[in-house]
Structure 1
Amino acid sequence: MQILLIGEFSRLHNSLKEGLEHLGHEVILVGNGDLFKKFPVDINIEISTFNKPFLLFIRKAIHKITNFDIADFEVAYKLKKNLKTLHDFDVVQLINEDALSIHPKLQIPLLKTLIKQNKNMFLLSCGDDYTNISFYLKNKENYSILTPYLENTSLKKEFSYCLKYVSPPYKKLHDFLYKNSCGVIASDMDYHIPLKNNKSYLGLIPNPVNTDKIAYNPLQVDSKIHIFHGVNTLSEIKKGSQFFKDALEIIKEKYSDKVAIHTTFNLPYKEYINVYNLAHIVLDQVYSYDQGYNALEAMAKGKVVFTGAEKEWQNYYKIDEDSVAINASPNISSIVEKLEWLIENPNKILEISNNARAFIEKEHNYILIAKKYLQVWELSSKS
């Protein structure tokens, strides 16, 4: 089978590609590397010309006045140049509704061409999109990534990226994709919940993780327990970082002789990973029901991760609470209590570490996940 994967924001498509290629399929990945993350792609459509100093100045000025990024034209041009080679694929899959990360007016014509010259297009619900942002704006769940905004609408600017998906241009893109795709696949529970009962929904396929590339180093608790909280200031509100900061202040005061706390801000990757590798416990996020890619990779390494692991997730995978990952809710007392439990019972850290790696190998193995994608694609193809 020939497969075209469009977009890469987390390593999902890279891991899926590795699984598909292991099974003998031909895969091409198109993407922009996702800024500083620089994920590998076969066809690179990243912004380069408009990031040169003088043009970047003009780009920012125009964006400030019009709210339009002229660099979108560069991305559109680069993809258009490659369109003549991107034909006759059995499957085209978009990483999410904004797979090209350009304005819908530029994106829709390019997608029309891709659809016309290939066989079947599938859409992932992975990250923000019209369906899940609309759903979480209704505030029916206990919490979501939009909870900080719903509790304080003065944060609208900080949530402009999420809220753009319910604007008229992105609603038009959403409608176009649902009309022209074979269906939508959710990558985790946070996207599965809003899609329930949607007639285009094809089901949840967990994130693929290439455990062959992630070494598992069994944890040892010889002296102090190392707790790591890596803060990205661009997303700290959405991840609920303040809950972790406040909880760590309490832990630091009570257990200064038993823990070493490492809180970092926007570290370059090489420095970040050195601190991260020391950790027994990693604090990820509180406003989720399932694990994102950062949490999954940490679990694959055997870290005890505070992240989304809600009842819905526990029921889906049929596992006990806090046995594989620690369910972190937006509640300081709850986070403190769970940290105390681990500090006072270090054997639990070793147990959860082993369970975490075993869980990733069982439920997120990249080859098994690739097989699940193939099955869904084959069952749902129009041709």
Structure 2
Amino acid sequence: MKILLVGEYSRLHNSLKEGLEYLNHDVTIVAAKDGFKNYDVDLPINKRYTNGFLKKFKNLIYRFTKIDLESLHVKKQIIDLQTQLSGFDVVQFINEASFLCTPDIEKTIFDLISSWNKNVFLLSCGTDYTSVKYAHDQKLRYSILTPYLNGKDQFLSSYGLKFLEPDFIALHHHIYKSIKGVIASDLDYHLPLLQHPKYLGLIPNPINTEQLEFKKLHIEDKIVIFHGINSNNYFKKGNDIFEDALTIINQKYADKIKIITVRSLPYDQYIKTYNEAHIMLDQIYAYDQGFNALEAMAKGKVVFTGAEKEWLEYYNIEEDTIAINALPDAKKIADKLEWLILNPDKIIEISSNARQFVEQHHHYISSAQLYLKTWGKQT
């Protein structure tokens, strides 16, 4: 089967492609490079107006005409790739705005690619209308919008509030009229989609464990705590709270820990940087693990991330055995860090459990099989 994967976030489509290719399917990814992360793409869509004079020129033109030169540049590249983007049995868009263009251009690109192919599906694995609206309506105990609602709006674009604007809402409804169905990648997107007529269910993020070597942790001297920061998502990911927690714990156990903090590294460099770590601080305002957390868990790290009671119930597991739930409270995070520092045997135990969990529930080949089964039911 020929499969076209449109867009890329956090290496999800790359891992899915590897699973599908193992199962002897022909897979192509078309996507803009995901910022500084620089994931592999078969048909890369280049962004021209990202910095310097061209960015200023683009912004000036948009200010006075509402014409976005970058979006037009992306659309032209898609049209030029028509031959390579045609004749696929299944197409999956990673988001309602897979190329970060204006909604009118996203609609045009969606319509073009849909008209050239069969059986179009959508993923909900990042901010989109459904998840942002659910969070904005405060239907969760906390969400990615909690810091924004608490006044932390310095990185406003990171919260995905654009999806609540009329043009993006119209784009959402247009896409949902055309797709065969929508798939959620984890519980953070599963919960808002429950009861939606186009919802096809949750397929856990595919992780290529063969590329992620598990090394049994050894604690000979200090416990190494890794904190990777994406500057654009600083408040959305709860990095400010993690930093406060690290300050608390460092004042108490500076002789027992080593803290590594990095900012906005390319993917290949980032995933190597935390190799020596025992503990990784991932994100706070989540109920399930995203890609970064799962890859770290596959490598045997003890990860502070989304591991809420809904996740515990979904997978039927006990608290603090696979991952550590990172609550939006620096004191509570520091308390959990202290528990691990004082009980290093727990670090070793959770590390092993984390790898087994990823292999059992997130293996890239079994995930690819679930995608094929889900797509097949609708075609």
Same fold (TM over 0.5): yes
Question: Which residue pairs with 1:227 in the alignment?
Answer: 225
CA contact (8 A) 1:217 1:301 kept: yes
Distance 1:265 1:85, change over 3 A: closer
TM-superposed deviation, 1:119: 1.4
| Contiguous gaps of at least 5 residues in structure 1 | none
- State whether structure 2 residue 69 is matched by structure 1 residue 70: yes
Distance 1:233 1:30 in 2: 26
CA contact (8 A) 1:149 1:159 kept: no
Distance 1:302 1:169, change over 3 A: same
Equivalent residue of 2:170, what SS? helix
Distance 2:313 2:214 in 1: 26
Question: Which residue pairs with 1:149 in the alignment?
Answer: 148
Q: Matched residues, percent identical?
A: 51
Question: Which residue pairs with 1:347 in the alignment?
Answer: 345
Distance 1:274 1:140 in 2: 37
Distance 1:115 1:263 in 2: 43
Equivalent pairs counted in the alignment come to 379
Return the letter of the residue paired with 2:224.
H
Equivalent residue of 1:89, what SS? coil
TM-superposed deviation, 1:343: 0.3
Distance 1:40 1:269 in 2: 10
Stretch deviating more after TM superposition (327-336 or 100-109): 100-109
Return the letter of the residue paired with 2:128.
D
Distance 1:68 1:296, change over 3 A: farther
TM-score computed with the length of structure 1 as normaliser = 0.94
Stretch deviating more after TM superposition (163-172 or 110-119): 110-119
Q: How does 1:25-174 map to 2 (within 5 A)?
A: 25-48=25-48, 50-51=49-50, 53-63=52-62, 69-152=68-151, 155=153, 158-159=156-157, 162-174=160-172
Equivalent residue of 1:145, what SS? coil
Distance 2:122 2:66 in 1: 27
Distance 1:280 1:326 in 2: 13
Distance 1:93 1:66, change over 3 A: same
What RMSD over aligned residues (CA atoms) do the two structures have, in Å? 1.8
Among candidates 312, 333, 336, match of residue 334 of structure 2? 336
Question: Which residue pairs with 2:7 in the alignment?
Answer: 7
| Contiguous gaps of at least 5 residues in structure 2 | none
Among candidates 206, 212, 221, match of residue 214 of structure 1? 212
Equivalent residue of 1:263, what SS? strand
Stretch deviating more after TM superposition (369-378 or 50-59): 50-59
Among candidates 300, 305, 308, match of residue 302 of structure 1? 300
TM-superposed deviation, 1:232: 2.1
Distance 1:365 1:329, change over 3 A: same
